[in-house]
Amino acid sequence: MKTCSNCGVEKPLAQFVRAQCKPCRNQKIMAWRKANPDKYKAAKQKYYASDKGKAQKRKEEVAYKATGGRSIAEKRRAEHPVSEPRKQSRLRYQLMRRSNERYLTPFDAWVLEEAVALARMRRQVCGGEWHVDHIVPVSKGGLCTHDNFQVVPAYWNRSKSNKHTKRYFACA
């Protein structure tokens, strides 16, 4: 048995980190995190960028999958689908984020909405992840116009990055 230097309560040795009991230490850490959010975020990013942090992240992911966390989250999403206002909000955000022009024409906005809907439909019907891609990348001078959108598999879009301007044609 040991007495905590912070709360003064006598507890078993297993509940101690140095001179403080674990609940007191956790309370102190949480208070520091709340008072210093930027420092905490920077420290967390630095840790997860290190080899030790990457290994920990993989370990956490394995544990998450083992507990069924992913299937539980997917089940919850299926039971509570995204509301229509939230879908519209996401679409507006995508339009704003992806557009290199201040405003899209109504036709271009409609084409983009249809492309996003097509990507969702393909995800449901075919499986896999689908992206709305710019044929000519925005970083290479491509515009957010109706003739520069295509719906492609996510793996192809990620591997393509902004390296080329080839159109995607699926092999049957």
pLDDT (average), residues 168-172:
64
CA distances from residue 96 to 27, 70, 123 in whole angstroms, order as listed: 41, 30, 23
Are residue 41 and residue 91 in the same domain, yes or no?
no
Residue 141 lies in a domain: yes
Is residue 112 within 8 Å of residue 149, measured between CB atoms?
yes
Please tell me whether residue 108 adopts helix, strand or coil conformation. Answer: helix
Cα angle, residue 132 at apex, residues 129 and 133 outer, rounded to 5°: 115
Q: Residue 105: which domain range? A: 82-160
Q: In the structure, what pLDDT confidence band is assigned to residue 172 with cuts at 50, 70 and 90?
A: very low
Same domain for 89 and 63, yes or no, is no
Are residues 65 and 131 located together in one domain of the fold? no
Q: How many domains does the chain have?
A: 2
Single-letter amino acid, residue 9 = V
The answer to whether residue 170 sits within a structural domain is no
Burial 18-33 (b: 16+ CB within 10 A, else e): eebbeebbeeeeeeee
Which tokens belong to 54? 């990457």
Q: What is the pLDDT of residues 19-58, one digit of tens each?
A: 888 888 888 889 999 999 999 999 989 998 999 999 998 9
Q: What is the mean pLDDT of residues 87-108?
A: 72
Q: What is the CA radius of gyration of the chain?
A: 24
Q: What is the pLDDT of residue 68?
A: 76
Question: What is the percent of the chain with per-residue pLDDT over 90, rounded to a whole number?
Answer: 24
Sign of CA dihedral 104, 107, 108, 109: positive
Examine the pLDDT at 96 and tell me if it is beyond 70. no
14, 50: one domain: yes
Asked if 89 and 62 sit in the same domain, the reply is no
Q: What's 117-167 look like in SS3?
A: HHHHHHHHHHCCCEEEEECCCHHHCCCCCHHHEEEEEHHHHHHHCCCCCCC
* 112-148 residue pLDDT tens: 889 999 999 999 998 889 999 888 887 777 787 888 8
Mean pLDDT over all residues of the chain?
A: 83
